[in-house]
Amino acid sequence: MGKTVFMFPGQGAQYVGMGKDFYDAFDCSKEIFDKANEVLDIDVKKLCFEENEDINITEFTQAAMVTASVAILKKLEEMGLKADMAAGLSLGEYCALVAGNVMSFEDAVKVVRQRGILMQDTVPAGEGAMSAVLGMKKEEIEAVLEGAEGIVTIANYNCPGQIVISGETQAVAKAGEALKEAGARRVLPLKVSGPFHSPMLKPAGEKLLDVLSDVEVKDPEIPYVSNTTAEFVTSKDDVKELLGRQVYSSVRWEQSIEKMIADGADTFIEIGPGKTLCGFMRKIDRSVKAINVATVEDLEKVKEILGC
């Protein structure tokens, strides 16, 4: 028998209406949204369920995404689905921590509320940017960035042919031109409020450690793969330091998936809004099974896995 992975999407997959059908249909999912509203200073249900602009603002997005994803996770757990390991893309790593019982949901959602504020406020608007680089090998991108002026680094190793760069606005723009000249098929500026996962966010990562200082973490009940190292985390001693570094380090998603496949993973279940990670999986390794659960209808796919 192969191993099953729970994987969780990051910021960018959010949409108005996410998690609403789970909230309406299942008590275990409703409880998660209710808890979020109890412990936060914002109305997460309103953010997720009613038309608004705030859902796309980092300081609100992160708490909303984690709430919706964990609400879906709780239903899957209630159905008897179990994971052998977990991972999450950037923000999604906090859902992986909840799945592995490393951190309570209440603590995770409070931390990401502060994380979103820190990430949004650390760099003044307009001074940082991010771009997706399509159709170019990671080694080629790294070589171009080595000679770039200013701060510009790889933010996300998403999958073969899709890498995100981040840093100072002008440096990202100039690097984008250099990458196109070097063979990139396209370089697409992203609509984001800051240079996430770049050295410019180091102050946010350091302040996040203060936020985490009083949060209880436990040894993972199932190992999860850290974005920062693409290695399994099995001890609570490493959790907080890695979460702090994650804010300003590259997200090594492709390498994380490869690590789990090498350890025997053959079924990947994306839990949360959208199906971005399943799209990445098709480019990383088509031989493994990948399904997404974003709506109540998607639960039918899980029943096949459970054999019921």
User: In this structure, are 205 and 253 located in the same domain?
Assistant: yes
Round to whole Å and give the CA distance between 175 and 126. Answer: 17
**Residues, the chain, total?**
308
Round to whole Å and give the CA distance between 97 and 86. Answer: 8
Catalytically active residues, by annotation: 90, 197
Classified as helix, coil or strand, 4 is strand
pLDDT at 97 over 60: yes
Query: What mean pLDDT is reported for the chain?
Result: 96
CA contacts within 13 A on the Cβ side of 192: 27
pLDDT at 140 over 70: yes
pLDDT in tens, 183-209: 999 999 998 889 999 999 999 999 999
User: In this structure, are 113 and 241 located in the same domain?
Assistant: yes
Mean pLDDT within 143-166: 97
User: In this structure, are 175 and 243 located in the same domain?
Assistant: no
Q: What is the CA radius of gyration of the chain?
A: 18
pLDDT at 231 over 90: yes
Torsion angle defined by CA atoms of residues 152, 241, 243 and 94, in that order, rounded to the nearest 10 degrees? 170
User: In this structure, are 84 and 188 located in the same domain?
Assistant: no
CB burial of residue 264 (10 Å; 0-12, 13-18, 19+): exposed
Instruction: Quote the pTM value.
Output: 0.96
Mean pLDDT within 10-19: 96
User: In this structure, are 220 and 246 located in the same domain?
Assistant: yes
We report the CATH number of the domain holding residue 297 as 3.40.366.10
Mean pLDDT within 66-82: 97
User: In this structure, are 102 and 215 located in the same domain?
Assistant: yes
User: In this structure, are 227 and 260 located in the same domain?
Assistant: yes
pLDDT in tens, 102-135: 999 999 999 999 999 999 999 998 999 999 999 9
Residue partners of 141: CB distance under 8 A and separation at least 6? 133, 154, 163, 165, 179, 184
Q: Which amino acid is at 285?
A: D
**How many domains would you assign to the chain?**
2
User: In this structure, are 242 and 163 located in the same domain?
Assistant: no
Q: What's the domain range around 76? A: 3-122+200-306
Q: Which of 73, 45, 46 is nearest to 273 (CA)?
A: 73
User: In this structure, are 207 and 278 located in the same domain?
Assistant: yes
pLDDT at 308 over 60: no
